[in-house]
A and B are shown apart, each in its own frame.
Chain A
């Protein structure tokens, strides 16, 4: 538990860190970044909360169980998205949504272009899955280790 100034600043900054992380995840197929990087940014926001409010308080609010669940859910979504290609006549990890004209299926012109969020096929879905996994994994690692350190010192 830090001072009131740090706690207030962390509370103000946390939504912006969260939005920035989700922006990096959602625009992974257009701009530098992706699931891993965006998930790491979101996990950094949770680490900011842990540093400001203490691991005990944040652990009670969020809980390692929920973060572990989001990690397992992310990995399952990732494998599920990859395996979904079997149902559409493709191989494992085949990008069956790309250039299909439907969701995430717009055709991209060659060369530099402004970018269209509705492109990329299954890549945005996999970015989202990996982002969910990485934010859960990194947060739960920091939370459990912080708790262990706190228990030893007290």
Chain B
């Protein structure tokens, strides 16, 4: 009885999630003005063939600055957690 209820729950949940996943529309964004702008003007404005890098390092440089700061903070945290071993290294 318990097993049947569990199987039914899993089946209903999987069905609902799969229906939601397949009813979503991928690959056809309603508003593609931004993408078209990057593709049309990215090469002439930044001089970079790789549009992804042009977006990451030029159009959205502040985002990358935040990412770099997050990485720096993560290393600070790890260094703080394991400071016993880094202190031994300094001695």
Chain A interface residues (CB < 8 Å from chain B): 28-36, 59, 63-65, 68, 71-72, 74-75, 78-79, 82, 92-93, 95, 98-99, 104-111, 113, 115, 119-123, 126-127, 130, 133-134, 136-137, 140-141, 144-145, 147-148, 151
Q: A137-B71, A144-B82 are in contact. Are A34 and B50 (CB under 8 A)?
A: yes
Q: List 11 A-B contacts (CB under 8 A).
A: A33-B53, A36-B67, A98-B46, A104-B47, A109-B43, A119-B49, A123-B47, A123-B48, A133-B68, A133-B71, A147-B82
Chain B interface residues (CB < 8 Å from chain A): 43-50, 52-54, 56-58, 61-62, 64-65, 67-69, 71-72, 74-75, 78-79, 81-82, 84-86, 89-90
B75, A95: Cβ atoms closer than 8 Å: no
Q: From A59, which residue of chain B is reached at the shortest CB distance? A: B89
Chain B neighbourhood of A95, CB < 8 A: 45-47, 58
Chain A neighbourhood of B89, CB < 8 A: 59, 63-65
